């Protein structure tokens, strides 16, 4: 299979030959397993930071 025929990750640009797994979506969009993990990690960090902020806000309200 030529390089042009390979599926590439829309996020990092690696080909399916360079990735463990690649998921293809609609409109020729694909994402590799490494980018999925990176995105999941970012989402978890964001959710954790939001949760910490909410807890701090609740503590401030309780102290008043």
Return the SS3 of 31.
strand
The 10s digit of each residue's pLDDT in 9-61 is 999 999 999 999 999 999 999 999 999 999 999 999 887 777 766 666 666 66
Asked if residues 32 and 21 have their Cβ atoms less than 8 Å apart, the reply is: yes
* Structure token digits, residue 17: 């030959």
* Structure token digits, residue 44: 């978890």
Residues in the chain: 64
CB neighbour burial string for 41-60, b if at least 16 within 10 angstroms, e if fewer: eeeeeeeeeeeeeeeeeeee
Give residue 47's pLDDT.
75
């Amino acid at each position: 299979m030529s390089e042009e025929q390979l599926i590439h990750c829309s996020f990092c640009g690696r080909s399916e030959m360079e990735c463990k797994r690649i998921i293809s979506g609609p409109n020729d969009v694909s994402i590799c397993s490494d980018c999925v993990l990176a995105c999941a990690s970012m989402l978890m960090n964001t959710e954790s930071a939001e949760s910490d902020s909410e807890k701090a806000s609740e503590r401030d309200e309780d102290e008043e």
